[in-house]
Structure 1
Amino acid sequence: MSENLTLDGLAVALRALRLLAVDFSHLPAPDVHASPIFPNRLELSFHRGLPDFEVWREALNISPDAVVYREQGDARTRVLKASADFAGATLELTGYSDAYISEPVGGAA
């Protein structure tokens, strides 16, 4: 990280975001985070449930085996994480869901 990083220093992450907006505009909107701390990383978070996470995972051709499952908040919140390279940036997908809500994940009904 450079203390003097300019907006141009985020060009890789922002370029990836621009391409995602063009190529995947039909997908659910994520929360988006880019940071000068990790200038080549773009984080996409899904707080409305895991189906939005799954739609993006499939669209980006991330293998289900690459998804990491964990729980937080005394097992009250399910968290799925996956990452992929896209347009030179590292995309990090994170999906959150209440643990007590039964949702179809990965095409299961």
Structure 2
Amino acid sequence: MTNTDTLGPVLSFAAQLAVQHPSLPSGAPSFHTANPKRLTLCLGGPAEVEVWREALHVSPDAVRFEERGGHYAFFVGFHAEVEGFEVDAFVCFNSADLAKQIAAAQAQEQEGAAA
């Protein structure tokens, strides 16, 4: 089988999603010959991850949020099985405001634990 033959089903799945959900924000899709049932979407922001999650009926519990080593870097994304395909949708972004909010919440937790 050629790579196109291998990726045909996931490419069709991606096209089907575009037809079924034309208002979804576009992302940068990646397809993997090593795992031809995986669709990876790099999206433009956390709100776009949420829109995709809702459209694909993915549980909120599947969403991961991580701080990524300094410089106010964060990751938000989900991994889910949808119609027999693996879908990874994510965004990496920087936010000084969010970092400040997290630091304030952590300081408040520590003060509460110390009391």
Q: Which TM-score bucket, shorter chain as reference?
A: 0.7 to 0.9
CA-based RMSD of the aligned residues comes to 1.8
| Residues 97 and 26 of structure 1, relative CA distance in 2, 3 Å threshold | same
Deviation at 1:68, TM superposition (A): 1.2
8 Å Cα contact 1:16/1:88 also seen in 2: no
- Counting matched residue pairs gives 98
User: Please, which of 3, 10, 22 is the counterpart of residue 19 of structure 2?
Assistant: 22
| Aligned residue in 2 for 1:36 | 33
Residue 91 of structure 2 corresponds to which residue in structure 1? 95
The residue number in structure 2 matching 1:62 is 58
Seq. identity, %: 30
SS in 2 for 1:33: strand
Q: Give, as a single letter, the amino acid of the residue that structure 1 aligns with 2:23.
A: H
Gaps of 5+ in 2: 99-115
Bigger Cα Rg = 2
Q: Structure 2 CA distance, aligned partners of 1:31 and 1:20?
A: 14
Q: Is the 8 A contact 1:33 1:43 kept in 2?
A: yes
Shift of 1:5: 4.2
Structure number with the higher helix fraction is 2
Gaps of 5+ in 1: 103-109
Whole-Å separation in 2 of the counterparts to 1:49 and 1:101:
15
Structure 1 residues 1-12: aligned runs within 5 Å: 5-12=2-9
